[in-house]
């Protein structure tokens, strides 16, 4: 009489451990990629806002036709919408320099006779993301006639 022995196909513990390790590595890589994308997105939002502020300031100066600009002004780059705690907003220092484009000399008054000048606007701020001490900078240079 023959005994009927059924063989079951099953995974060994080694195969299960290897599959778990592969899944863990995949999940970890995906999470790291998502974290990097989020951080990079926050940085680009700050840079875009800084560029908008500079562009608006230069537009205002262009339409004023050379009333002297205010430099070293604190500007809010990113408002976290918490009016009770403005200290959590990202703030930067706006610096505007007016130069003679030919001599590169910084001008402190309207040139006489009037001629084309170069206006350089820069905002410097500390990044608010995971590396908060990272110093960021955004610069726009334009020319205009007073």
* pLDDT for residue 144 is more than 90: no
Flag whether the pTM goes above 0.75.
no
SS3 content of the chain, % helix, strand, coil (to 5): 40, 25, 35
Per-residue confidence (pLDDT) for residue 10, from 0 to 100: 72
* pLDDT for residue 19 is more than 90: yes
**Mean per-residue pLDDT over the chain, rounded:** 77
- Per the structure block, which two tokens stand in for 5? 């022995």
- Helix count (H) and strand count (E) of the chain? 1, 4
- Mean pLDDT, residues 18-27: 95
Per-residue confidence (pLDDT) for residue 114, from 0 to 100: 73
Higher pLDDT, 71 or 12: 12
User: pLDDT tens digit string along 27-58?
Assistant: 999 999 999 998 888 888 888 888 888 777 77
Provide the phi-psi class of 104: left if phi over 0, else alpha when psi is between -120 and 50, else beta: left
- Mean pLDDT, residues 118-143: 77
H, E, C per residue of 45-63? HHHHHHHHHHHHHHHHHHH
């Amino acid at each position: 009489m023959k005994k009927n022995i059924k063989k079951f196909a099953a995974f060994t513990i080694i195969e299960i451990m290897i599959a778990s390790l592969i899944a863990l590595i995949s999940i970890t890589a995906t999470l790291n990629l998502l974290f990097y994308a989020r951080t990079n997105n926050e940085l680009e939002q700050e840079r875009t806002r800084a560029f908008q502020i500079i562009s608006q300031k230069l537009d205002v100066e262009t339409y004023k036709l050379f009333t002297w600009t205010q430099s070293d002004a604190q500007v809010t780059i990113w408002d976290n919408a918490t009016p009770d705690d403005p200290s959590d907003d990202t703030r930067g220092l706006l610096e505007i320099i007016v130069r003679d484009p030919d001599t590169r000399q910084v001008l402190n008054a309207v040139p006489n006779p009037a001629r084309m000048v170069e206006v350089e606007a820069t905002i410097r701020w500390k990044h608010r993301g995971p590396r908060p001490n990272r110093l960021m900078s955004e610069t726009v240079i334009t020319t205009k006639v007073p």
